[in-house]
Structure 1
C-alpha cells in the first residue's frame, strides 16, 4: 500500500484526538489573548516550523526547545492536535505536501506558512555571504538568529513581545549572545534610529527580513519602513510577504473566521496590496519603486490573481 494512503488512513483514525487538541489550543490562545499584549499570531509560523522540525524537513532546535516552555501553548493540546500527523508520519514515512515545499508548481494559500518559511530561508541564504548584518523586523518567535549565521544579528520587535521571547529563550536554554535586541513599535516609533543606537552600522550592507508583519500594520508604517530600508548601504536588501487587498476584503467563510479570531486577539489585518489586474509582479514592482527600492524577486501564493505573495527588493545604487 502506498505510504501516502497509509498516512491518510492513520490520520483519519486519530482525527478525534486532533479535534480535542485544536479546541484546547484555540481556547487557551483566546483566553491569553484577552489579558496579554504579547502577540499570539506569531505562533502560526512558529507552529509550522515546529512541525517541520519534527517531520525532519527543516531542523530548528531552538524552535523545538522554545515550544516546550511557552505558557500560551497547552502541551496536552499540542500533543493531541499534532498526534494524527506525527503518528502517521512515523508509521508511514510520508510527509504531507504542505511541509515539503519546494515542489513543482505554485503553492496554494493554505500552504502559505510553510512555503513562506522556505522562501525566506532561500533569500537569506543568497545574501548571507554578501552582507554583514541581519535585521529581523517584527521578529516574533523567529529563530533564524540562533542557527549559527556568520553575520551580526539584530531583532526588532514590540516592547511587550520581545521581553517575553527573551525570557522563553532563557528558559529553553538557547544561547542568545550573538543577538542584539531592539524594542520598537513600527506604528509609533522610529525603529531605525533605535537600531543604530543599538550598534547597527548604517554604512554596511544588511539583509532585512520582514516576515508575516505587513498585513498587521497600517499603510503609513509599511511604506515608511521600506523607505528607511531604501536609505541603507548599497548591497542591502529586504524580504517581505503581503496579502492582496482582494483577499482582505473577501467574504469567504475562511476569511470571516480568520478575521473574527484576529479581532478577539486584538491583532486585525490592516494592509494589503493590489494584485489585479494580473500579473501581480507589476503591482509589486511599482509599489517597492514608490518606496525607493528595486524589485528583485516576486512569487505568488496561489494562481493569478494571487491572494498573497513574497518579495525581495534591493537598495538602489546611488
Structure 2
C-alpha cells in the first residue's frame, strides 16, 4: 500500500473507531482519579504508556512494560486494550505507524511528542555508556523498565531511586506481573527532603566507580534547590560518571499559549505542578551549561526542543553531563 494511502486509511479507521478509544480513556482516567491523594505519581504512567504503544506496534519490544500494563492499579485491564485497539487494528490492516511511535524517533520534536521522543534519547544513553560502566542508577524511576532489560551476560548493578509510595506500588506491580527484579536494588527517597545519595551508598552503590544516571521526566516537578542539590551530589561521584536528563524551560512555566496553559492545569490537578524551568534566554544550551558548571559538572550532549528565533524561545531539551 502506498504510504499516503496507508496513512489515510489508518486515520480513517481510527476516526471511525473513536468511540471505542474514548470509552477506554474514560475507564483509564477513572482509575487514575480514584487513586488521587494516594501519594503515588500519576505522571509516571505517561512514559509507561508511550513505551507500551511502541511495544504493541512492534517498533520497540519491551516485555516488562507490557506486563506492568496488565496490572495497573485501579485501571480495568480492558481500558488500555480499548484505547490501543483501534490503532492496532488500523496498523495491522495498513502497516502504518504514527510518527509519535516510530523508533528511533526522528525529526523535530513537538511538545505533543516529547514523551515518545525522549525514549530514543535515553535508550541511546544507556546503549552508549553502559558498555563501559557496571553501575546504573535511575533517579525518579517511576515505571521505567530499563533496569529489567539489561544484558544477561554482564554484571551490571542497577538501582532505582524514587518516592517511597510510588516505589512501593511499583514493587507490588513488578511482583504481580512476574518480572524478575533480582538485579535491581530499590532505594526510597524524596529528592526535596532526603539525602538520596547517602541512601544509595547504604544500599550498595560505590561512589568510587563511575555510573550512568538517568533522570527522565523529573526536573520540571522539583524546586530549583532540589535540582541543584541533585546535580551537586552526582558531581561527587566517580570521575567519568554521566547523567542524562530532560528539562523544560521557563517558557513552559510562563507561556500563555493554550497548550501550555492546559498542560500546567493538568499537572496541578494531578497534584504534581510544574516548578522548575531552565532560563529560556537563547541560546538555551548555554543556560544549561551554566547550570551544570555551577553544580560541578561538565556539559556533554545537548538537543534543544523548539526553535530559537528572535521571537520564539525553546521550550525544553535533552542533555547529558559528565563528572570530571
TM-score interval, normalised by the smaller of the two chains? over 0.9
Query: Is this contact kept in 2: 1:138–1:213, CA < 8 A?
Result: yes
Query: Is this contact kept in 2: 1:281–1:298, CA < 8 A?
Result: yes
Query: Is this contact kept in 2: 1:7–1:94, CA < 8 A?
Result: yes
SS at match of 1:286: helix
Return the alpha-carbon distance in structure 1 between the equivalents of residues 19 and 237 of structure 2: 52
Per-residue deviation, 1:6: 1.6
SS at match of 1:33: coil
1:1-318 equivalences under 5 Å are 2-34=5-37, 36-102=38-104, 104-149=106-151, 150=154, 151-276=156-281, 278-304=282-308, 305-316=313-324
Q: 1:42 to 1:296 in 2, by over 3 A?
A: same
Deviations 1:153-198 (A, max 9, x none): 0000111111110110000000000011111110000000000000
Return the alpha-carbon distance in structure 2 between the equivalents of residues 104 and 119 of structure 1: 11
Return the alpha-carbon distance in structure 2 between the equivalents of residues 113 and 103 of structure 1: 11
SS at match of 2:303: strand
Return the structure number with greater relative CO, CA threshold 8 A, min gap 6. Answer: 1
- Unaligned runs of at least 5 residues, structure 2: none
Query: Is this contact kept in 2: 1:70–1:168, CA < 8 A?
Result: yes
Per-residue deviation, 1:103: 5.2
Q: 1:20 to 1:46 in 2, by over 3 A?
A: same
Q: 1:94 to 1:179 in 2, by over 3 A?
A: same
Per-residue deviation, 1:26: 1.9
Return the alpha-carbon distance in structure 2 between the equivalents of residues 95 and 83 of structure 1: 14
TM-score of the superposed pair, with normalisation by structure 1: 0.95
Q: RMSD of the alignment, in Å?
A: 1.4
SS at match of 2:35: helix
Number of corresponding residues:
314
Query: Is this contact kept in 1: 2:30–2:75, CA < 8 A?
Result: no
Deviations 1:61-85 (A, max 9, x none): 0010011011133323212222221
TM-score of the superposed pair, with normalisation by structure 2: 0.93
Query: Is this contact kept in 2: 1:30–1:264, CA < 8 A?
Result: no
Query: Is this contact kept in 1: 2:214–2:243, CA < 8 A?
Result: yes
